[in-house]
Amino acid sequence: MRFLIRSKIHLATVTEADVDYVGSVTIDRDLIDAVGLWPGEKVLISSVTSGARLETYVIEAPAGSGIIGINGAAAHLIKQGEKVIIMGFELSESPLEPQVVLVDEANRVVRHLVEKRGDTEPRLPEVPEPEETRAARPRPDSIPPRRPRRKGGKAGGPGRPGRGQ
């Protein structure tokens, strides 16, 4: 038996993050139904924005609300406005075809995606980078070259000159 992905909400936007709540992730009922999750089910959440990953359980938000709420201690890791992937798994003796949805900025289902074993081709459209992010990124020709590391001194490691020997 193996744990396999069964449900995935892709690129959801966190609409609220409340550290004072007891715990869990609050998910719009429409999204819960679209991917076959259950209230109380354990899920893995991965932030596309920060790279943070955590496990928690599902709490139902009203259908059509668009709510994706990160609650409790998890709100220290994933903040409001971050893009996340929410995944549910199943212990199975045979391969599964997961229920996967891509959502828009309001957390409405844009389309169902197909993930098949062995697929190496991306199934998502290119997501354009926000203009403010592009404008804030330094151009390659404006980045100064790296200085070579000094030998010895504080940069040395154990057994190297400069480490109190």
Q: pLDDT tens track of the chain, all 165 residues?
A: 999 999 999 999 999 999 999 879 999 999 999 999 999 999 999 999 999 999 999 999 999 999 999 999 999 999 999 999 999 999 999 998 999 999 999 999 999 998 765 554 445 544 445 555 445 555 545 555 555 555 555 554 455 555 444
3 state DSSP class of 142: helix
Asked whether 24 and 57 are in contact (CB, 8 A), the reply is yes
CA angle 4, 10, 12 (to 5 degrees): 135
Identified catalytic residue from 7, 47, 57, 92: 57
- Alpha-carbon distances, residue 107 vs 81, 99, 101, 148 (angstroms): 12, 16, 10, 47
Q: Is residue 65 part of a domain?
A: yes
Catalytic residue at 21?
A: no
Question: In total, how many domains does the chain have?
Answer: 1
Q: Is residue 152 part of a domain?
A: no
Q: Is residue 28 part of a domain?
A: yes
Residue 75 belongs to domain with CATH number: 2.40.40.20
Q: Is residue 20 part of a domain?
A: yes
What domain range is 33 assigned to?
A: 2-113
Q: Is residue 35 part of a domain?
A: yes
Catalytic residue at 7?
A: no
Q: What is the pTM of this model?
A: 0.71
Q: Is residue 132 part of a domain?
A: no
Q: Is residue 84 part of a domain?
A: yes
Q: Which of 58, 61, 23 is nearest to 43 (CA)?
A: 58
Q: Is residue 69 part of a domain?
A: yes
Identified catalytic residue from 7, 24, 47, 65: 24
